[in-house]
């Protein structure tokens, strides 16, 4: 039964200690892990979709190295990844967009779980009044005029 809500499988949810760290600061995926995940991604499509698979894998590793391991696992997973959304073999740009979307979703969820503490307003009762400031600094607020005001010229 589909209710239109994206659900993350329990196997892809981070453990308790990982969720305490902001998503963009989490552990990055290693090149070996990325190669393993790239193999799963490429295995979902025909070999004819990639004229130069070695070059594609190199570019994919460079792209995925920028993201946390959790994002790489999500995007390359058979159930939640790009394989389940795209009918044709994904380009590097499509994989990058999928990673950025997942990272943005993780950031949004992290912010919901870790709201910033509300700062209390400082006591402003002892601040000087407008009249006291005028008396202390004078009519020009302590700034001395270098000479008479200049006449402004407007350009047309």
* CA–CA gap between residue 60 and residue 37 (Å, rounded): 10
pLDDT of residue 75: 94
pLDDT at 141: 78
| The length of the chain, given as a count of residues | 156
- Per-residue tokens: 109: 């969820």
Specify whether the CB–CB gap between 92 and 22 falls below 8 A.
no
- From first to last of its 156 residues, the chain has per-residue pLDDT tens of 444 444 444 444 444 444 567 776 788 888 899 999 988 888 888 878 888 888 888 999 999 999 999 999 999 998 999 988 888 889 999 999 999 999 999 999 988 888 877 777 777 788 888 889 888 888 877 777 767 767 777 766
Q: What is the pLDDT of residue 10?
A: 41
pTM exceeds 0.85:
no
């Amino acid at each position: 039964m589909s209710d239109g809500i994206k659900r993350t499988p329990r196997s892809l949810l981070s453990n308790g200690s990982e969720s305490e760290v902001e998503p963009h600061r989490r552990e990055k995926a290693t090149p070996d892990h990325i190669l393993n995940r790239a193999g799963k991604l490429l295995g979902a499509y025909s070999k004819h979709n990639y004229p130069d698979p070695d070059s594609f894998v190199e570019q994919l590793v460079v792209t995925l190295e920028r993201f946390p391991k959790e994002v790489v696992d999500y995007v390359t997973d058979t159930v939640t990844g790009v394989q389940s959304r795209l009918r044709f073999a994904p380009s590097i740009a499509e994989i990058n967009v999928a990673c950025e979307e997942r990272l943005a979703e993780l950031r949004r969820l992290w912010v919901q779980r870790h709201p910033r503490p509300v700062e209390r307003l400082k006591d402003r009762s002892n601040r000087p009044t407008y009249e006291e400031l005028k008396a202390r600094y004078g009519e020009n607020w302590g700034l001395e005029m270098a000479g008479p005001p200049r006449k402004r010229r407007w350009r047309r």
